[in-house]
Amino acid sequence: MNKEWKVKEKDEEKISEMVKEYNISPILADCLIKRNIVQENDIRKFLSPTRNDFYNSFLMPDMEKAVNRILTAIKNNEKTIIYGDYDVDGITSITVLKNFLKDRNFNVDYYIPNRLEEGYGLNNNAIKKIADNGYTLMITVDCGITAIEEVNYAKSLGIDTIVTDHHEPIEELPNAIGVVDAKRKDSIYPFRELAGVGVTFKFIQAISKKMNLKEEEYLKYLDIVCIGTISDIVPLVDENRVIAKLGLMLVKQTKNIGLKTLIASIGYKEINSTAVSFGIAPRVNASGRMGEAEEALKLFLTSDSKEAQNITHKLNQYNQERQETEKKIFDEAREIIEKEEEKNFIIVGKEGWHHGVIGIVASKVTEMYFKPSILVCFEGEEAKGSGRSIPGFDLHEALVNCSTYLEKFGGHSMAIGLSFKKKNFEKIKKQLQDYVQEVDISGIIPIIELESEVSLKGISIEDVKSIYKLEPFGEANKMPIFLFKNLKIDSIRSLSEGKHLKLTLKSDKYIINAIGFNIGKLVNEYVIGDKVEIAGVLEINEFNGMENIQINIKDIRKALQ
């Protein structure tokens, strides 16, 4: 697949100024400039944030009302329940709020809807159960902002609701005691991109201030808040970066027995944003995807090491089951796709596909073909789908324009969920494919954003290490990818039965090792002596006590003659 490489412009004068003024490496200065982090306080906050960089929680809409209501509940020992979501963000949100309130000698219960049977968010059947069990206060975490009907129903049953959420509100807000969401139109909060657990953290911070507690009483939960924030793929900038940077320090020495046990099982040498995204998050999410979200919550709530080990074992099994299910669906989807003529917009469906997993598979299909895709699982007469898009095509808008036969749909430009009757599958498919034909996305190709061109001559181990001061990497703060030109292949081979590509590259008298994961098939397209250009990440490879610079290849092409 052809990809466009875009190299960002370099401001040599500004780089030189920052190097002198802040005593940082030129390569780090360049990365900061390109992230528009050039003022002294912004640089300090980005590289070395502190607890003083958190915003005032009471700037959040309705925070005062929400805090006053929970304080009343604590005082009266009112029967209270937390209603959350089944993903990592929801699980960590419940963990943080429940444990914080437990420390105040206020034991609250929780409710997590079953992903496979109830779906996301509040539902009236659950609320009826909550009312029947005598609860008079319900606090939502990571959900509730659009639950107008459900909050009214709760109110009719004698339940007050506090909504804490981070999703986009609709025109009408729920009729709750307080609706705490920085994305409200009337919000004056300085940052609107918190994860659900981030909003929960601001809630316990506000309660702590109102109760005159020490800062440690809410800061000690930053390990769990950090896990939820990184896992929810929110932009790791501003207050989210403060949460992630400080939180990762706590994760490394966490006192949460469940988290510590889970970390020990994932086998990562270093606990950073990568370990959270690819080691911890999939295991916690897998339990929700397989309809067992409560297991992940119990892991974070337990104080028993044996129970933590048993649950961790279960989560690893769920994750393995999820991976096997995902691979099976992916292989079956590819088989269907390859038989179809129209590939500008991919929409495929099959009986028996697991609707807790099809979203991940849709992401893989979109990545592979670089086309918007929707995967649909048929269950009797019903159909449920999950879709992913490519930059430059608004998938949600496509559904708005093709909603004739849809029963429900939601999401945003890059990811959607939908449901409809199975009999309408072909009609919906034709509508969407006709729409895509009309808007014409054939000219959209993948773009690799490159930080700058780097010469092997001008790079040192210290320079590479300085790049990692930009961690934690994630959404809106991607790992920098650099351009390397004028390289000659000195050696080339494949690893792991042809899965990966291993190269030695030469530029004048300088030699560097390069590794390309999952591109081993390219071993037959290049030979020793070929001149190539590489788009890659700079890494330090440690072996036998020696440190060497290595390029992690993201793309490779033959040099233009």
CATH code of the domain in which 350 resides: 3.10.310.30
Q: Answer whether residue 219 is part of any domain.
A: yes
Q: Are residues 14 and 144 in the same domain?
A: no
Q: Are residues 422 and 483 in the same domain?
A: no
pLDDT of residue 419: 92
Q: Answer whether residue 328 is part of any domain.
A: no
For range 80-90, the mean pLDDT: 94
Maximum CA pair distance of the chain?
78
Q: Are residues 429 and 508 in the same domain?
A: no
Q: What is the DSSP pairing of strand 546-558 with strand 531-543?
A: antiparallel
Running DSSP on this structure, what letter comes out for residue 198? Answer: H
Q: Answer whether residue 152 is part of any domain.
A: yes
How many other CB atoms sit within 10 Å of the CB of residue 82?
Answer: 25
Examine residue 49 and say whether the peptide bond preceding it is cis (omega within 30 degrees of 0): no
For range 50-55, the mean pLDDT: 97
Q: Are residues 469 and 435 in the same domain?
A: no
CA–CA dist 142, 87 (Å, integer): 9
* 8 Å CB contact between 367 and 333: no
- The residue out of 410, 439, 468 marking a domain boundary is 439
Q: Answer whether residue 11 is part of any domain.
A: yes
Q: Are residues 165 and 83 in the same domain?
A: yes
Q: Are residues 10 and 89 in the same domain?
A: no
Q: Answer whether residue 325 is part of any domain.
A: no
pLDDT digits (tens, 9 = 90+) for 169-188: 888 999 999 999 999 999 99
Q: Are residues 479 and 520 in the same domain?
A: yes
Q: Answer whether residue 488 is part of any domain.
A: yes
- The residue out of 235, 262, 281 marking a domain boundary is 235
Q: Are residues 346 and 417 in the same domain?
A: yes
CATH code of the domain in which 77 resides: 3.90.1640.30
- The residue out of 202, 235, 268 marking a domain boundary is 235
pTM over cut 0.85: yes
Does residue 550 surpass a pLDDT of 70? yes
Q: Are residues 210 and 69 in the same domain?
A: yes
pLDDT digits (tens, 9 = 90+) for 235-247: 999 999 999 999 9
Q: What is the DSSP pairing of strand 160-164 with strand 178-180?
A: parallel
Q: Answer whether residue 254 is part of any domain.
A: no
* 8 Å CB contact between 547 and 541: yes
Alpha helices in 302-345 (DSSP H): 305-339
Q: Answer whether residue 88 is part of any domain.
A: yes
Which of 19-23, 119-123, 142-146, 470-474 shows the lowest mean pLDDT across its residues? 119-123
CA–CA dist 83, 113 (Å, integer): 8
pLDDT category of residue 269 using cuts at 50, 70 and 90 = confident
Q: Are residues 432 and 459 in the same domain?
A: no
pLDDT category of residue 408 using cuts at 50, 70 and 90 = confident
Work out the mean pLDDT of the chain and round it to a whole number.
94
Query: Range of 477's domain?
Result: 4-30+451-558
Domain tally, the chain: 3
Q: Are residues 63 and 129 in the same domain?
A: yes
Residue type at position 463 = D
Q: Are residues 107 and 149 in the same domain?
A: yes
- Please state, in angstroms and as integers, the Cα–Cα distance from residue 489 to each residue in 423, 500, 510, following that order: 55, 16, 12
- Residue bearing the bigger pLDDT, 410 or 90: 90
